[in-house]
Amino acid sequence: MYILGLWDGHDSGAALLEDDKIVFASNEERYTKRKLEIKFPYNSINAALSYAGIKPADVDAVAFPTTEFAKTLSRVFPQQQEAYYKFRRRKMLRPRAEALMHNAKYAMTGLGVLPLCGTISKAVVADKLRRIGFEKFKLYGIDHHSAHAAATAFTSGFKKSLVVTIDGLGDGLSGSVSVLEKGELERKHAVSARNSIGVFYEQVTNIVGMRELEDEGKVMAMACYSYPFPFEDNRLRDFFKVEGLDIIAKYSPIRQYDMLGRIAWSMPREQFSYMAQQLLEHVMVEFIGNAVSHYKIGSVAMGGGTLSNVKANMQVRGIEGLKEWSIFPHMGDGGIALGAAMQANYALNGVSAYDFDGAYLGDEFDETHVEQALRKEKWLSFERDTNKCSHAAELISDDDYVFWFQGRMEYGPRALGNRSILAKAGSDSVKEKLNMYVKQREWYQPFAPSMLSEEAPRLLDEIKGRDKFMTMAYKVKPGKEGLLKSVIHIDNTARPQMVGDENPNYRGLLRNLVKLEGHGVVLNTSFNIHGMPIVLSPEDAIGTMKKTKTKHMFIEGFYVENKEA
């Protein structure tokens, strides 16, 4: 049975299941080249069907999440969604009515699901599907946090666990606590949209001059540059409190936005960011800690956009009673197409577990396609390279950086060794070169390392499980800072990918670095330039190579050199 999941909102995309297997999952931004695309995922749907070798008529069921009033309105009037996309991404001059526009958003999204919203959303989605050849299919609307919880629980590998979701909001909720046991997923508690710690952090992001729903990671990074102070001295400390399994906001979202703006006006951005980060960590630790204590379950699976905050996740990892954890790698709304499909499959067929060893679920390209793309470009030379892992390791060891394009594209915001830019983990000079010519990141944003899984206990403190997806920060062990100086933050933390057998090519490169450097660690950043999505195709990779004047690329079985670099 084929089940298609789709999401037509922030970071839209599609996913395809066949029985208990994940066939394909991708996001629309990779095809349209608009970061965090919001349009209906026609390209992602076509890519999923093409990968599976099926037609629309072969799909038995389609599931989509979120039928709240605000999302339904944007489905009926897509031009409204497009206008907000440009506003949120600051692709326009600052509107005179900026505060009014934010307040309108908070008012509408707080309404939740109203009568007829589900019916109208279904009608709009069904019409769009029929236009591209879908005929006899059953359409299911899935609750927003049920989609988050399904993806989180069913990919965790746990047979019994707590399942915690925390995000901005969706369908009137901003969080949930469920229990997965004996193949059954049951919601036990929910947090209303009014009490959203995720919306709080979005507001902080906007107030410090960044893009909400996109730059929250920059706020987290910038917070480390403030002078630290105890939580008792935090002027935001009473904005939220946790009582049992309830997160309670002191103010409504509209009032909260006004109050935050007034407080931020009187202090440096770093200090304000620190206050917000400190409060977020406090709330998440208390909320998840209370859930662990209440249900007496030490395995915790977590998802939702707020779980992209790796510093808060690091604090959660230390909760007493938490024995093992899992964070769904595409934790934000970009992952709920897969979650919607999984929730539908669970309801229809009882499927509650999937093989999810790696997040390599997107497009791939054979060597014939790659070679044809390379032959069109006269400014490059290329050759087959049967020793790409050792060759790439040598270039990295010589303080250069390489483009690395292999196999299926990753699902989610992280490059995990298939669409990556790689460099030496202990080199400040190559980090500066990457920032100057390719990434153009803000000075306070750290790069992240990939390392052999067996290296992690030697380099990092407080390892609890294997982090395959760069979802948590870790303290670097004293004396190991020099090995990781290009991937370490000012607070001596790093956000690692711990590489096992799920990616043989990438692991092979790291093992060759052990021979050359004595340790299997590399700087790994996503294969894209500033403001663009991660590359999808060989053509994208070649174009990025030319634009950045990068000299070295390994793409499938070929080594490529830029003659103009």
pLDDT tens-place string over residues 281-299: 999 999 999 999 999 999 9
Q: Do 2-148+338-344 and 156-327 share a fold?
A: yes
How many whole angstroms separate alpha carbon 388 and alpha carbon 394? 10
Tokens of 77: 């009037």
Percent of the chain residues topping a pLDDT of 90: 95
Note the CATH number of domain 156-327: 3.30.420.40
**Torsions phi, psi for 482 (to 5 deg):** -65, -35
Which pLDDT band holds residue 342 (cuts at 50, 70, 90)? Answer: very high
Is the separation of the CB atoms in 281 and 131 below 8 Å? no
Which pLDDT band holds residue 317 (cuts at 50, 70, 90)? Answer: very high
Nearest CA among 518, 370, 522, 400 for reference residue 449: 522
Q: What is the DSSP letter of 388?
A: H
Is pLDDT of 268 > 90?
Answer: yes
How many whole angstroms separate alpha carbon 499 and alpha carbon 348? 35
Percent of the chain residues topping a pLDDT of 70: 100
Whole-number pLDDT of residue 527: 97
pLDDT tens, 92-136?
999 998 989 999 999 999 899 999 999 999 999 999 999 999 999
Is the separation of the CB atoms in 2 and 16 below 8 Å? yes
**In sequence order, which residues have a C-beta less than 8 Å from that of residue 523 and are 6 or more positions away?**
401, 422, 423, 424, 425, 427, 430, 431, 434, 447, 448, 449, 486, 487
Average pLDDT over residues 323-335: 98
Coil, helix or strand at residue 433:
helix
pLDDT tens, 374-413?
999 999 999 999 999 999 999 999 999 999 999 999 999 9
Is pLDDT of 440 > 90?
Answer: no
Nearest CA among 229, 216, 323, 231 for reference residue 283: 231
Give me the chain's average pLDDT, please.
96
Whole-number pLDDT of residue 435: 86
How many whole angstroms separate alpha carbon 217 and alpha carbon 53? 38
- Residue 357 CB: number of other CB atoms within 10 A? 12
Q: Where are the domains of the chain?
A: 2-148+338-344, 156-327, 367-562
Q: Which CATH number fits domain 2-148+338-344: 1.10.260.40, 3.60.20.10, 3.30.420.40, 3.40.50.300?
A: 3.30.420.40
**Largest Cα span, the chain:** 65
Is pLDDT of 473 > 90?
Answer: yes
Tokens of 449: 């390392």
Q: Using the structure block, give the residue that is written with the tokens 């990434």.
A: 439
Is the separation of the CB atoms in 64 and 7 below 8 Å? yes
Whole-number pLDDT of residue 531: 87
How many whole angstroms separate alpha carbon 66 and alpha carbon 113? 9
Specify the pTM: 0.97
How many whole angstroms separate alpha carbon 313 and alpha carbon 67? 29
- Written out in words, the top-level CATH class of the domain with range 367-562 is alpha beta
Is pLDDT of 197 > 90?
Answer: yes
pLDDT tens, 521-552?
999 999 999 889 999 999 999 999 999 999 99
Average pLDDT over residues 304-331: 97
Is the separation of the CB atoms in 491 and 436 below 8 Å? no
Is pLDDT of 437 > 90?
Answer: no
How would you label 546-558 residue by residue, b for 16+ Cβ within 10 Å and e otherwise? eebebbbbbbbeb
How many whole angstroms separate alpha carbon 542 and alpha carbon 439? 16
Tokens of 10: 């922030």
